[in-house]
């Protein structure tokens, strides 16, 4: 009130200025209120669109990906390590070289003649500052519970996915929280959905069928090229060793592409990526869209530089007593990694030992 009187001036009539300002004040309030409602409306619309978009992504993933029941993924609880007390998570990623293999591994979960061409232990620490991917050579000679020594890849034939999990949990004395099986055809779908992926090729080669040639240096690949790149092993003197390294290069390149504003702020690209890739993925029933979404949110500050990949150290190749060509595991490295996983200090261990 004092402000109004001051604005009217000392010689103004007693009521005139007040009536004039009162008549203007509702207009100002009304304008401010309209502006406020406008922005609130935009916020509500944006929130509704975002909610619908996230719900659609979740629906697309849950309906596209194949779900594997707990009994067909994990061994009996009494044979397993306890969940990590630190909050860290471990995910076993199995790669299959054809859609048929992936379906058999996922649906049956039983002993079969199927093999997993790719085996990666993905570790996500409690602080969510990085992601570590450890590749395990499929010919690694290990102790398979109930069957004795054999190539780790044989665990699938002896006891399906649960025996693979039990074998790895026994090696590293840590629990695997989730399992995902990815068909190699999914690599093709990922690449095409992203509009191509640039991979830093370290070893130039031409595929054994002669359909694709890869020069050394950065190569932008389409889906067909990416699939040929991650599959090839016959063109290399060390076979699977280089194939594993190429698969790591490809996955790192995918993350370089996904973890950028150009992708993360493009709803259409994200939707296309989820829609095209989910049919090539099989996951345990606890790894649904909600769990993945929460995990992704917790990793929102991770960038490609924070993704570390390495191959489980070994002592080279050898021959088993029954004449098989095998990869001899490095028991000291296995124990060191097991201890680091337990302490949630894997990144420090890798740095100290020149890995990753």
Pairing of the two strands 325-329 and 314-319:
antiparallel
9, 151: one domain? no
Residue 110 confidence (pLDDT) above 80: no
SS3 of 138-176 = CCEEEEECCCEEEEHHHHHHHHHHHHHHHHHHHHHCCCC
User: 347 burial class (0-12, 13-18, 19+ CB within 10 angstroms)?
Assistant: buried
134, 274: one domain? yes
Range 244-258 average pLDDT: 92
State CA 350 to chain mean position distance. Answer: 20
109: number of CA atoms within 13 Å, CB side?
19
Both structure tokens of 112: 């079969």
- Residue 298, domain member (yes or no): yes
The per-residue b/e assignment along 177-191, b for 16 or more CB within 10 angstroms, e otherwise, is bbbbbbbbbbbbbbb
- Band of pLDDT at residue 35, cut at 50, 70 and 90: low
Check which CATH number belongs to the domain holding 249 and give it. 3.40.630.190
Angle, in degrees to the nearest 10, between helices 155-172 and 99-108? 70
Report d(CA 180, CA 281) in Å as an integer: 7
Residue 38 confidence (pLDDT) above 90: no
- Residue 59, domain member (yes or no): no
Residues 254-310 have pLDDT tens digits of 988 988 888 877 888 888 888 888 999 999 999 998 898 888 888 888 888 899 999
- Residue 4 pLDDT: 38
* DSSP 8-state code for residue 323: S
- Residue 58, domain member (yes or no): no
87, 194: one domain? yes
* DSSP 8-state code for residue 78: G
- Residue 102 pLDDT: 42
| Cβ atoms 260, 305 nearer than 8 A | no
Higher pLDDT, 20 or 355: 355
Q: Which residue range(s) make up the domain with 223?
A: 65-352
Residues 309-335 have pLDDT tens digits of 999 999 999 999 999 999 999 999 999
31, 117: one domain? no
- Residue 179, domain member (yes or no): yes
157, 245: one domain? yes
Count of C-beta atoms within a 10 Å radius of residue 305: 11
Q: How many independent structural domains does the chain possess?
A: 2
Average pLDDT of the chain, as a whole number:
84
15, 112: one domain? no
325 phi, psi to nearest 5 deg: -80, 125
Residues 114-130 have pLDDT tens digits of 567 789 999 999 999 99
Q: CA of 78: how far to CAs of 8, 133, 146, in Å?
A: 85, 27, 15
15: number of CA atoms within 13 Å, CB side?
0
Residue position matching structure tokens 């994200």 = 270
Q: Which of 36-45, 214-223, 253-262 has the lowest mean pLDDT?
A: 36-45
47 SS3 class: helix
- Band of pLDDT at residue 28, cut at 50, 70 and 90: low
Both structure tokens of 340: 């680091």
123: number of CA atoms within 13 Å, CB side?
26
Percentage of the chain with pLDDT > 70? 80
108, 226: one domain? yes
- The terminus-to-terminus CA distance of the chain in angstroms comes to 71
198 SS3 class: strand
- Residue 268, domain member (yes or no): yes
Report d(CA 273, CA 191) in Å as an integer: 9
Polymer length in residues for the chain: 356
70, 48: one domain? no
Both structure tokens of 99: 């859609």
Pairing of the two strands 131-135 and 307-311:
parallel
Report d(CA 13, CA 273) in Å as an integer: 72
89, 43: one domain? no
- Residue 340, domain member (yes or no): yes
Percentage of the chain with pLDDT > 90? 59
- Residue 103 pLDDT: 44
Report d(CA 222, CA 225) in Å as an integer: 5
Residues 65-86 have pLDDT tens digits of 999 999 999 999 999 999 999 9
Residue 194 confidence (pLDDT) above 80: yes
Residue 235 confidence (pLDDT) above 90: yes
- Band of pLDDT at residue 184, cut at 50, 70 and 90: confident
277, 193: one domain? yes
Residues 134-174 have pLDDT tens digits of 999 999 999 999 999 999 999 988 999 999 999 999 999 99
199, 328: one domain? yes
Q: Closest Cα to residue 223, out of 260, 259, 261, 183? A: 183
Q: Closest Cα to residue 102, out of 113, 116, 91? A: 116
- Residue 284, domain member (yes or no): yes
- Residue 49 pLDDT: 54
- Band of pLDDT at residue 196, cut at 50, 70 and 90: very high
- Residue 88, domain member (yes or no): yes
130, 277: one domain? yes
Q: What is this structure's pTM?
A: 0.81
Range 334-345 average pLDDT: 98
- Residue 5 pLDDT: 39
């Amino acid at each position: 009130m004092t402000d109004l009187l001051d604005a009217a001036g000392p010689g103004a009539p007693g009521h005139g200025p007040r009536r004039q300002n009162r008549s203007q004040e509702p207009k100002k309030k009304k304008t401010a209120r309209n502006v406020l409602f406008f922005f609130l409306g935009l916020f509500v619309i944006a929130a509704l669109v975002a909610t619908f978009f996230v719900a659609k992504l979740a629906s697309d993933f849950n309906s596209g990906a194949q779900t594997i029941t707990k009994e067909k993924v994990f061994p009996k609880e009494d044979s397993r390590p306890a969940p990590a007390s630190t909050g860290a998570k471990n995910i076993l990623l199995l790669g299959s070289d054809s859609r048929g293999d992936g379906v058999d591994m996922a649906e049956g979960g039983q002993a079969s003649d199927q093999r997993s061409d790719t085996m990666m232990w993905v570790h996500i620490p409690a602080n969510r500052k990085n992601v570590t991917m450890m590749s395990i050579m499929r010919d690694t000679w290990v102790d398979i519970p109930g069957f004795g020594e054999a190539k780790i890849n044989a665990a699938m034939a002896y006891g399906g996915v649960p025996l693979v999990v039990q074998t790895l949990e026994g090696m590293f004395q840590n629990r695997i929280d989730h399992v995902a099986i990815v068909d190699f055809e999914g690599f093709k779908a990922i690449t095409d959905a992203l509009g191509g992926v640039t991979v830093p090729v370290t070893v130039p080669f031409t595929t054994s069928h002669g359909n694709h040639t890869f020069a050394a240096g950065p190569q932008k690949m389409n889906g067909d090229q990416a699939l040929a790149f991650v599959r090839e092993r016959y063109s290399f003197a060390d076979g699977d060793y280089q194939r594993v390294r190429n698969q790591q290069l490809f996955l790192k390149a995918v993350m370089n592409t996904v973890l950028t504003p150009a992708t993360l702020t493009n709803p259409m690209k994200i939707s296309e990526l989820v829609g095209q890739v989910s049919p090539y993925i099989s996951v345990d029933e606890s790894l649904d869209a909600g769990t993945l979404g929460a995990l992704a949110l917790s990793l929102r500050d991770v960038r490609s530089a924070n993704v570390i990949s390495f191959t489980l150290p070994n002592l080279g190749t050898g021959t088993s007593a029954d004449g098989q060509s095998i990869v001899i595991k490095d028991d000291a490295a296995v124990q060191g990694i097991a201890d680091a996983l337990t302490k949630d200090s894997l990144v420090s261990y890798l740095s100290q030992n020149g890995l990753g």
